[in-house]
């Protein structure tokens, strides 16, 4: 995340990224969410996990009992008939425990599958909804790839966390504790040996695991670099071909690729080596326990156990040593499990934290209370509110004294002495004043970075400025509810974004309740109908990948139709026709003219031919309006506009 200022004030942040540490508040928050989403099922699943874990330790006890019985039978020469009377009940109890445990495991795994996916679904939705409420600034200052990775990578680590890490830590933790207690109750001496072994195991794992983490981090970096390079080259492949740069590119790629391979090899080697180490230390421990146990047996050493402390006779016999061997395996296995899962819990929590960051980011503030309503005029010219679509709109303005006033929506936009900067201390607009009367066409001309788009960003409140400097039909726009303000403004941007779906659906995006006829009418008005009807499936042609099957100009035409169907009183056209060739533009012009009729229109264009017929043209330079007036006025002024306009001809 590049914008720490977007973290909510009470957010779980505070932990610098990159440092791997277990974040307890985040863990708490995840678990709390799970409890609140699934108040019955989640505790039930937890109960099943705990239960199954307890049962999993039971075999050790029964093994020991049964073997003790067998031994005794052998020693005393008791036959099967008699011995079985003792053995079979034990086996039956064991079997029934297993059945119950199986039921618990089955319930738990099914529940966890259900809960995990349900939780992820809810997280996805919450994340998406949170994102929709973020201000444009968030999207301008964060890379799209970063935002996307919350939905892909971070949600994925959350899945790991909920479905695997939390249950296995719980389970392994319980097994470790139970086995440990049983071991102590059998023999404290042998338990100490086991503990020593586990300690060694822990040391080695930590060392190797640390190396693995280090190289995985490096591998991650190398992957990022490789992907960046690949992306750039795949996108620029045609440029590579035109410049015959293939060999050089290959060489560059080889270097990056080799470096990635090197880091990745190390990372995997460390990770892979952990398995054999854990297993063999486990094996060695097993052997040591067997040997130590054997030696103690042969020496007939006195036993010391917890049970003995409570007065139960616990002589050190084969019936203690053998179950101990199995318990050793179980103990080391689960300790390993714990140490591995801790790592993925840390990673999962880091992902969760990033998701929470977005969820906690400050949403776009909207204190507006002036709303846009359908209106009707009575005989006296008074405006009243109505529910039907009349084509007449009014601003409903509740006042502090409890009264309501209605102001007709006319499209009168005034900016007075606006200063603005995206970042503090870096002003991009200085003292800009614009007066657009209803029905006027106001054009902005100027170089890239002169501040043209910034002005429109302020009118539709993508960015906010200090109170009262922009007025819409006489109302301070900060008082107007953002969604209503934007509803009254139609925007067509230079960078056209269409959605996956049919052409018709894309046009209807402008007004969701528009009929097919409305959409076609809008398309005709904006000059898009002609090419749309020539598409293979006409208005039902599916667009995908931002309409990649259309030309840029065609996409712009659809975007114009989309704005037209909304039928807004004010329109902002930001280089809306820049990619339509002039000849097509000439054809479209007529439609555009009728589209603009009766509306206040702000036009930003590079081509002077597009703005020439505006009522007023503002020439912007470095955030200041340096000239304003009609085309004729400006030509007569012989200033910047004049030199721009004549620039092409003067050099002939």
Partner 1 sequence: MIKTLAKSIREYKLPSILTLIFIMGEVIIEVIIPFITANLVNDIKAGAPIESVIQTGLILIAMALVSLCCGGAAAITCSKASTGFAKNLRRDMFEKIQSFSFSNIDKFSATSLVTRLTTDITHVQMSYMMIIRTAIRSPMIFIFSIIMAYTMGGALAASFVVVIPVLLFGLLLIAKNAMPAFRRVFKKYDKLNESIEENVRAMRVVKGFSREEYEKQKFAAAADGITEDFTKAERIVALNTPIMQFCMYFNTVMILFLGSYLVIKSGGTDIDVGQISAMLTYGVQILMSLMMLSMIYVMITMSLESMRRICEVLNEEPNLKNPENPVLKVLDGSIKFNNVNFKYNKNAKRNALENINLEIKSGMTVGVIGGTGSSKSSLVQLIPRLYDVTDGEVLVGGVDVRDYDIKVLRDSVAMVLQKNQLFSGTIKENLRWGNENATDEELIEACKLAQADEFITSFTDGYDTYIEQGGTNVSGGQKQRLCIARALLKKPKILILDDSTSAVDTKTDAFIRKGFKEFIPNTTKIIIAQRIASVQDADMIIVMENGKIESIGTHNELMKLSEIYREVYEQQTNGGDNNENA
Do 543 and 574 meet the contact criterion of CB atoms below 8 Å apart? no
**Adjacency order of strands within the sheet including 624-629:** 489-492, 570-574, 600-604, 441-446, 616-621, 624-629
Query: What is the C-alpha to C-alpha distance for residues 431 and 371, in angstroms, rounded to an integer?
Result: 29
For 213, counting Cβ atoms within 10 Å of its Cβ (0-12 exposed, 13-18 middle, 19+ buried), the class is middle
Question: Sign of dihedral through CA atoms 196, 197, 199, 203?
Answer: positive
Q: Should residue 12 be labelled a site residue for partner 1 when binding is judged by CB under 8 A?
A: no
User: Which of 3, 24, 89, 148 is in the footprint of partner 1 by CB under 8 A?
Assistant: 148
User: Number of C-alpha atoms within 13 angstroms, CB side, residue 614?
Assistant: 29
Q: At what angle do helices 24-37 and 318-360 cross, to 10 degrees?
A: 90
- Total residues binding partner 1 (CB under 8 A): 162
Q: How far apart are the first and last CA of the chain?
A: 52
Query: What is the C-alpha to C-alpha distance for residues 465 and 477, in angstroms, rounded to an integer?
Result: 10
User: Between residue 528 and residue 587, which ones bind partner 1 under the rule CB under 8 A?
Assistant: 546, 551-554, 562, 566, 580-586
Do 572 and 490 meet the contact criterion of CB atoms below 8 Å apart? yes
User: Which of 23, 57, 116, 332 is in the footprint of partner 1 by CB under 8 A?
Assistant: 116
Q: Should residue 50 be labelled a site residue for partner 1 when binding is judged by CB under 8 A?
A: no
User: Which of 164, 407, 613, 637 is in the footprint of partner 1 by CB under 8 A?
Assistant: 613
Nearest approach, Cβ of residue 288 and partner 1 (Å): 7
Q: Should residue 478 be labelled a site residue for partner 1 when binding is judged by CB under 8 A?
A: no
Query: What is the C-alpha to C-alpha distance for residues 230 and 414, in angstroms, rounded to an integer?
Result: 49
Q: Should residue 399 be labelled a site residue for partner 1 when binding is judged by CB under 8 A?
A: no
**x/- site string to partner 1, residues 433 to 472, per CB under 8 A?**
--------------xxx----------x-x----------
Q: Should residue 359 be labelled a site residue for partner 1 when binding is judged by CB under 8 A?
A: no
User: Between residue 51 and residue 90, which ones bind partner 1 under the rule CB under 8 A?
Assistant: 59, 62-63, 66-67, 69-71, 73-74, 77-80, 83-84, 87-88
User: Which of 286, 395, 472, 539 is in the footprint of partner 1 by CB under 8 A?
Assistant: 286
Q: Should residue 125 be labelled a site residue for partner 1 when binding is judged by CB under 8 A?
A: yes
Q: Should residue 273 be labelled a site residue for partner 1 when binding is judged by CB under 8 A?
A: yes
The gap from C-alpha 446 to its chain's centroid, in whole angstroms, comes to 37
Do 318 and 71 meet the contact criterion of CB atoms below 8 Å apart? yes
Query: What is the C-alpha to C-alpha distance for residues 40 and 350, in angstroms, rounded to an integer?
Result: 27
Nearest approach, Cβ of residue 83 and partner 1 (Å): 5
Interface stretch with partner 1, choices 35-43, 193-201, 260-268, 301-309 (CB under 8 A): 260-268
Q: Which residues pair with 471 in a beta bridge?
A: 414, 476
Q: Should residue 163 be labelled a site residue for partner 1 when binding is judged by CB under 8 A?
A: yes
User: Which of 1, 15, 41, 131 is in the footprint of partner 1 by CB under 8 A?
Assistant: 131
User: Between residue 168 and residue 197, which ones bind partner 1 under the rule CB under 8 A?
Assistant: none
User: Between residue 30 and residue 49, which ones bind partner 1 under the rule CB under 8 A?
Assistant: none
User: Which of 4, 196, 232, 597 is in the footprint of partner 1 by CB under 8 A?
Assistant: 232
Q: Should residue 239 be labelled a site residue for partner 1 when binding is judged by CB under 8 A?
A: yes
Interface stretch with partner 1, choices 23-31, 291-299, 349-357, 396-404 (CB under 8 A): 291-299
Do 410 and 473 meet the contact criterion of CB atoms below 8 Å apart? yes
Tokens of 55: 């049962």
Q: Should residue 128 be labelled a site residue for partner 1 when binding is judged by CB under 8 A?
A: yes
């Amino acid at each position: 995340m590049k914008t720490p200022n977007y973290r909510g004030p009470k957010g779980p942040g505070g932990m610098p990224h990159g440092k791997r540490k277990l974040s307890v508040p985040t863990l708490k928050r995840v678990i709390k969410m799970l409890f609140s989403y699934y108040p019955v099922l989640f505790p039930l699943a937890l109960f099943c996990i705990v239960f199954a874990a307890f049962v999993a330790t039971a075999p050790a006890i029964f093994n020991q009992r049964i073997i003790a019985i067998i031994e005794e039978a052998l020693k005393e020469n008791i036959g099967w008939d008699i011995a079985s009377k003792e053995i079979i009940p034990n086996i039956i109890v064991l079997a029934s425990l297993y059945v119950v445990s199986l039921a618990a495991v089955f319930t738990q795994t099914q529940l966890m599958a259900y809960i995990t996916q349900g939780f992820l679904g809810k997280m996805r939705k919450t994340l998406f909804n949170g994102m929709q409420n973020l201000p444009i600034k968030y999207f301008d200052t964060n890379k799209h790839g970063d935002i996307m990775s919350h939905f892909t990578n971070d949600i994925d680590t959350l899945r790991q966390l909920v479905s695997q890490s939390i249950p296995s830590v719980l389970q392994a933790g319980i097994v470790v504790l139970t086995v440990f207690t049983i071991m102590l109750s059998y023999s404290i001496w042998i338990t100490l040996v086991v503990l020593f072994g586990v300690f060694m195991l822990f040391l080695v794992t930590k060392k190797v695991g640390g190396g693995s983490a280090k190289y995985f981090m490096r591998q991650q970096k190398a992957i990022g670099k490789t992907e960046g390079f690949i992306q750039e080259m795949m996108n620029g492949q045609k440029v590579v071909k035109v410049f015959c740069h293939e060999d050089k590119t290959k060489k560059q790629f080889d270097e990056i690729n080799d470096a990635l391979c090197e880091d990745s090899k190390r990372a995997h080697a460390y990770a892979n080596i952990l398995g054999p180490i854990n297993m063999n230390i486990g094996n060695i421990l097993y052997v040591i326990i067997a040997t130590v146990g054997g030696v103690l047996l042969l020496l007939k050493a006195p036993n010391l156990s917890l049970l003995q402390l409570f007065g139960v006779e616990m002589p050190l016999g084969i019936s203690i040593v053998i179950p101990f061997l199995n318990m050793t395996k179980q103990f080391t296995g689960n300790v390993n499990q714990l140490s591995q899962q801790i790592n993925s819990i840390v990673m999962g929590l880091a992902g969760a934290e990033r998701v929470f960051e977005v969820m906690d980011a400050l949403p776009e503030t909207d204190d507006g209370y002036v709303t846009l309503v359908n209106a009707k005029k009575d005989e006296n010219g008074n405006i009243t509110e109505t529910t039907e679509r009349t084509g007449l709109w009014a601003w409903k303005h509740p006042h502090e004294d409890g009264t309501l006033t209605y102001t007709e929506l006319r499209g009168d936009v005034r900016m007075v002495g606006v200063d603005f900067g995206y970042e503090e201390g870096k002003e991009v607009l200085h003292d800009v004043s614009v007066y657009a009367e209803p029905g006027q066409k106001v054009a902005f001309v100027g170089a890239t970075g002169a501040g043209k788009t910034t002005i429109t960003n302020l009118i539709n409140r993508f960015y906010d400025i200090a109170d009262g400097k922009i007025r819409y039909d006489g109302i301070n726009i900060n008082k107007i509810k953002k969604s209503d303000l934007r509803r009254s403004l139609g925007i067509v941007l230079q960078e056209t974004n269409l959605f996956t779906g049919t052409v018709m659906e894309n046009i209807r995006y402008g007004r969701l309740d528009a009929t097919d006829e409305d959409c076609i009418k809008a398309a005709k008005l904006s000059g898009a109908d002609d090419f749309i009807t020539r598409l293979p499936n006409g208005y039902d042609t599916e667009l995908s990948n931002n309409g990649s099957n259309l030309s840029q100009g065609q996409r712009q035409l659809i975007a114009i139709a989309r704005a037209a169907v909304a039928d807004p009183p004010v329109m902002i056209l930001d280089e809306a026709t820049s990619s339509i060739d002039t000849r097509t533009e000439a054809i479209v012009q007529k439609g555009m003219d009728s589209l603009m009729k009766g509306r206040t229109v702000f036009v930003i264009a590079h081509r002077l031919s597009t703005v020439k017929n505006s009522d007023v043209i503002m020439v912007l330079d470095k955030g200041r309006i340096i000239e304003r007036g009609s085309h004729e006025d400006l030509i007569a002024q012989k200033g910047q506009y004049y030199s721009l306009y004549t620039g092409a001809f003067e050099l002939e």
